[in-house]
Amino acid sequence: METMANAPESVTKAVVRAINRQDVDAIAALLSPSHRFVDSLGNVVEGREAMRKGWRGYFALVPDYTLAIDETHGSGPVVLLLGMAQGTYARGGKLLPEDAWRTPIAVRVQVEDGLVAEWRVYADNEPIRKRMAKV
């Protein structure tokens, strides 16, 4: 039975809040064991524990990563998020203003049994790639 707490939009918003707190354990708790993450380049990571490791690694690179969601659209188990992704690439462990970036993002989320089964990102990675490429 679907409750308000495990409704697709509620679960999706809870993941966004956990991402914005850089709370890897809270993110992982909202993912299905067989979770599938697809990035904007088509790379796939499968499994809750693989994503727990992936998020830890990503937050090491971009410790202030956040999502600013402007629109949320739900249809059954699918939720679409539209907004901005932003953060600062941590060069040598330091957050410098010139390494900050921001890019439009869309995320397609599939929720099954109150957990995120798939998180598919559509975004331009060029802003962070430029920061990472700086010498």
- Written as one letter, the residue type at 99 is D
- Judged against a pLDDT cut of 90, whether residue 43 lies above it is answered with yes
Q: Which domains does the chain have, with CATH numbers?
A: 8-83+106-123 (3.10.450.50)
Q: Residue 107 and residue 14: Cα distance in Å, rounded?
A: 14
- The pTM of the full predicted model, rounded to 2 decimals, is 0.92
pLDDT value at 37 more than 60 = yes
Q: Phi and psi of 61, rounded to 5°?
A: -75, -40
| SS3 at position 62 | coil
For the ranges 45-49, 79-83, 106-110, 131-135, the lowest mean pLDDT is seen at 131-135
Q: What pLDDT, in 10s, does the model give residues 78-106?
A: 999 999 999 999 988 899 999 999 999 99
- Region 114-122 average pLDDT: 98
* Residue 124: band (very low, low, confident or very high) from pLDDT cuts 50, 70, 90: confident
Check residues 130 and 59 and name the one with the higher pLDDT.
59
